Structure 1
Amino acid sequence: MATGWAGDGAVQDQIDATVEDAIKRARSQLRKGPGLMHCEECDAPIPEARRKAVPGVRLCVECQAAQDYDDAHSGYNRRGSKDSQLR
């Protein structure tokens, strides 16, 4: 069912394009090449298995987990409040 001037499937095409762009952006930010022998945060040795599994690794498991936790709990409210949406 077409609405307005948009053709059938136009909304889904836009969603698909947005997802593809996000995937490309995320892949372009992945590190490549050999990883570090020691963590750049705490200087702990990084096991060879981790260096092989994660190309370009720079942090040990503990420091990476702490960074991931901080990133996930940064306090940024993506949804906003209802009041801000009504203005």
Structure 2
Amino acid sequence: MADIADFANDLVQERIDQALAARNAAKPALAAHSFLFCENCENPIPEGRRIAVPGCTQCVTCQEVDEILGAIYAR
């Protein structure tokens, strides 16, 4: 059975959610800049990849390894 404290907590959470949504909506969208060199192996990231995937930080090989390891550990 819900009491007054539960209703107060729900109201506070709703206000926090509204404030965060308003804050995120007011934030200007930042253009992500790609790295010139891979953060893992320090090899150059090809220009085509930097254009195709704005904000990339890894070369294709390191990205593939991360995705494979992520899939393995997600199990």
Structure 1 stretches of at least 4 aligned residues deviating more than 6 Å after TM superposition: none
**How far apart are residue 59 of structure 1 and its match?**
0.3
Mapping of residues 6-21 of structure 1, within 5 Å: none
Supply the distance in 1 between the matched residues of 2:68 and 2:48 (Cα, whole angstroms): 23
TM-score (norm 1): 0.49
Segments of 5+ residues of structure 1 without an aligned counterpart are: 1-31, 77-87
Secondary structure of the structure 2 residue equivalent to 1:64: helix
Distance of aligned partners of 1:49 and 1:74 in 2 relative to their CA distance in 1, 3 Å threshold: same
> Kindly, what percent of the aligned residue pairs are identical?
40
Supply the distance in 1 between the matched residues of 2:52 and 2:74 (Cα, whole angstroms): 31
TM-score (norm 2): 0.56
Secondary structure of the structure 1 residue equivalent to 2:62: helix
Is 1:39–2:75 an aligned residue pair? no
Supply the distance in 2 between the matched residues of 1:53 and 1:34 (Cα, whole angstroms): 12
Q: Which residue is equivalent to 2:26?
A: none
Q: Which has the higher helix share?
A: 2
Aligned length: 46
Q: Which residue is equivalent to 1:64?
A: 63
